Chain A
């Protein structure tokens, strides 16, 4: 048995024991969705970090920084600053006013099925898209690490484990898997950063000097090189006429979107009070921030060690694979570059990966450890997504819309489990079906939909007395539909690839919308529609309920315990 496999097995056995322990405690919907609200602020901080730091941020960010230098690091910045929105504006009021889902918060003032149904649909769209992107990534990754496991088998293994955790262990098992993963991921990142620094004799000066010697090129539309920049200089990815706006649009989606991601919001219902929700965001910010600062060493480390010797090229190749799955546009150029440098990196069957940074610096056993960490990373995120999707369907649609809010507790848990199974199987099938397509724009889409559809209505329902049902539905639908449409006609989906391109755009035509991220347009549209919709109708009930909502949001009086 290879060391990689041994590490996988240890992790899996350990988490299965936790799931078995948790399963005895899942007796009510409160236990299933919110772990009996018994998670402490400190524990929840780790769990949020584990829920949030995806494989895309572990391997993808390393690849982005390795290729686009500073521009890649902009993601790291956005992913942390986003938590200020969560901390200052949403975590505590949400904990005080909701039960398990975002729809609970909205339904507080706006009764009726419409608002809840649209909120649940938005949650399902975000979580399902995010899950598919994660699972396709998992398939690629595990297939590289354990070559005898095929792509499909890898997805089925990930899917089966994720379902096992969620169905049997509910939020209790999901939380502990996320905590363990966060500990492992941070530990691994610290060791890797340490090894990279050791490579440069623990001199930051030497490190940055080496980074500054690596250059990338900026090309115009016709493919001519118009500038050469060092990795430390901005503009390697976001350049040209629309570059700066694309960067701002991305920033907007990241900073607002996090506060609308259902699997993150759901974590605030697992703590006993708003105060614990606040503490958990603070811990999450320390952990997530530390991780993203270290992406400097992961990314630039991969880039610098590359230029020096051959090991590096494999590293770049691996980071590239992760990158290619997220950014199809650059894939052909990247493949050509790697081939030219004498490294054959076919996208599908390269068994080297970003993880080879670990191998070159720490040996086989360390590589196995990092691989197990990457595997745990994916599992923790997809488990969080599955339970969020399950709550939107079982709690919002089935219980509150179909059954009018009443249902036996045991029956509710049964439905939640069945829903998780259904959603999980759907995600597995979709991931297998979509494996040859580039699906990673779905992560960007998830952030854009969260920022455009969810965040405007969450903020307005908490802060604006006049806000009502019509405004909620108009805001959510406009945010959802405008982000979907704009992404579909953006350069992330539309583009004309040369015939030899390894990864192709979904639509082979010139993009109709110039920005890769729709946030700059769809987020203001979401707000605008919510505000205009509100003025279309007068809703005395929603206005009357504002007193209760604002008192609850600010004091926790009457909050779910």
Chain B
């Protein structure tokens, strides 16, 4: 947990103009940019990595049937690596998300001081 104490929700009914002003604030832009910098590459990577498996298995079955450890072949190892890949991206995201939470707190503090 970060911050001296957990701040409650911001009690304010925002008007459309206020929402737009918050959207335009540098703190918000920075938060969204930070998220994009992680989420877009991570999504492209996992989609490519995931579909490499059915594409290789479907169109190059002989290659994927090649044995690597004993009877265990490339196809099965690749499939197992998909689990590792998913868990790794999840762990990296959780770590990076702490930074998003900090940026979010900065913005919320700003909003709180502006509107309350």
Chains A and B bind each other: yes
Encoded as 1 (CB less than 8 Å from any A CB) or 0, chain B from 51 to 82 comes to 10111011101001100001111011001101
Given contacts A293-B83, A554-B32, A555-B28, contact A88 B58 (CB under 8 A): no
Residue numbers in B under 8 Å from A385 (CB-CB): none
> For chain A, what secondary structure do more than half of its interface residues adopt (helix, strand, loop), or is it mixed?
helix
Contact A70 B76 (CB under 8 A): yes
Residue numbers in A under 8 Å from B64 (CB-CB): 234
**By the criterion of a CB under 8 Å from any partner CB, how many residues of chain A are at the interface?**
57
State the CA gap A477–B38 with chains docked (Å).
Answer: 32
Contact A84 B46 (CB under 8 A): yes
- A243, closest chain B residue (CB): B58
State the CA gap A208–B53 with chains docked (Å).
Answer: 21
State the CA gap A85–B22 with chains docked (Å).
Answer: 28
Contact A547 B70 (CB under 8 A): no
Contact B93 A87 (CB under 8 A): yes
Q: Which residues of B from 20 to 47 have beta carbons under 8 Å from A? A: 20, 22-23, 28, 31-32, 35, 39, 42-43, 46-47
- B89, closest chain A residue (CB): A84
Cross-interface CB contact of B54 among A74, A84, A544, A556, cutoff 8 Å? A74
Contact A251 B54 (CB under 8 A): yes
State the CA gap A509–B65 with chains docked (Å).
Answer: 35
Cross-interface CB contact of A557 among B10, B73, B79, B89, cutoff 8 Å? B10
Contact A547 B16 (CB under 8 A): yes
Please tell me if A400 contacts chain B, counting CB pairs below 8 Å: no
Given contacts A234-B65, A285-B87, contact A245 B28 (CB under 8 A): no
Q: Smallest CB–CB gap between A250 and chain B, Å?
A: 8
- B21, closest chain A residue (CB): A547
Residue numbers in B under 8 Å from A77 (CB-CB): 50, 53, 79, 82-83
Residue numbers in B under 8 Å from A205 (CB-CB): 70-71
State the CA gap A292–B93 with chains docked (Å).
Answer: 22
Contact A73 B79 (CB under 8 A): yes
State the CA gap A109–B64 with chains docked (Å).
Answer: 47
Residue numbers in A under 8 Å from B46 (CB-CB): 81, 84, 88
Please tell me if A436 contacts chain B, counting CB pairs below 8 Å: no
Given contacts A233-B73, A247-B54, A285-B86, contact A89 B39 (CB under 8 A): yes
State the CA gap A285–B83 with chains docked (Å).
Answer: 9
Contact B70 A248 (CB under 8 A): no
Contact A234 B61 (CB under 8 A): yes
Residue numbers in B under 8 Å from A278 (CB-CB): 94, 97
Cross-interface CB contact of B94 among A282, A292, A550, cutoff 8 Å? A282
Contact A238 B58 (CB under 8 A): yes
Cross-interface CB contact of B101 among A76, A238, A275, A548, cutoff 8 Å? A275
Q: Smallest CB–CB gap between A560 and chain B, Å?
A: 10
Contact A550 B23 (CB under 8 A): yes
Cross-interface CB contact of A554 among B10, B28, B47, cutoff 8 Å? B28
- A80, closest chain B residue (CB): B86
Q: Smallest CB–CB gap between A253 and chain B, Å?
A: 12
Q: Smallest CB–CB gap between B68 and chain A, Å?
A: 11
State the CA gap A247–B23 with chains docked (Å).
Answer: 42
Residue numbers in A under 8 Å from B42 (CB-CB): 84, 88
Residue numbers in A under 8 Å from B73 (CB-CB): 232-233
Given contacts A70-B79, A248-B54, contact A548 B16 (CB under 8 A): yes
Residue numbers in B under 8 Å from A87 (CB-CB): 90, 93
Residue numbers in B under 8 Å from A365 (CB-CB): none
Please tell me if A83 contacts chain B, counting CB pairs below 8 Å: yes
Contact A74 B79 (CB under 8 A): yes
State the CA gap A235–B79 with chains docked (Å).
Answer: 14
Q: Smallest CB–CB gap between A424 and chain B, Å?
A: 34
Please tell me if A289 contacts chain B, counting CB pairs below 8 Å: yes
- B98, closest chain A residue (CB): A275
Cross-interface CB contact of B72 among A208, A235, A551, cutoff 8 Å? A208
Contact A248 B39 (CB under 8 A): no
Please tell me if A402 contacts chain B, counting CB pairs below 8 Å: no
Given contacts A74-B79, A234-B64, A551-B19, contact A83 B86 (CB under 8 A): yes
Contact B70 A74 (CB under 8 A): no
Q: Smallest CB–CB gap between A333 and chain B, Å?
A: 21
Residue numbers in B under 8 Å from A117 (CB-CB): none
Please tell me if A212 contacts chain B, counting CB pairs below 8 Å: yes
State the CA gap A83–B86 with chains docked (Å).
Answer: 8
Contact A247 B104 (CB under 8 A): no
Please tell me if A286 contacts chain B, counting CB pairs below 8 Å: yes
- A286, closest chain B residue (CB): B87
Encoded as 1 (CB less than 8 Å from any B CB) or 0, chain A from 209 to 220 comes to 101100000000
Encoded as 1 (CB less than 8 Å from any B CB) or 0, chain A from 255 to 289 comes to 10000000000000000000100100110011001
State the CA gap A561–B79 with chains docked (Å).
Answer: 40
22 contacts between A and B (CB under 8 A): A70-B75, A70-B76, A81-B86, A87-B93, A88-B42, A88-B46, A209-B70, A232-B75, A233-B73, A244-B57, A245-B58, A247-B57, A248-B55, A251-B50, A251-B53, A278-B97, A289-B83, A547-B19, A551-B19, A554-B32, A554-B35, A557-B10
**Contacts A211-B71, A248-B58, A548-B19 known; 5 new A-B pairs at CB < 8 A:** A70-B76, A251-B53, A278-B97, A289-B83, A557-B14
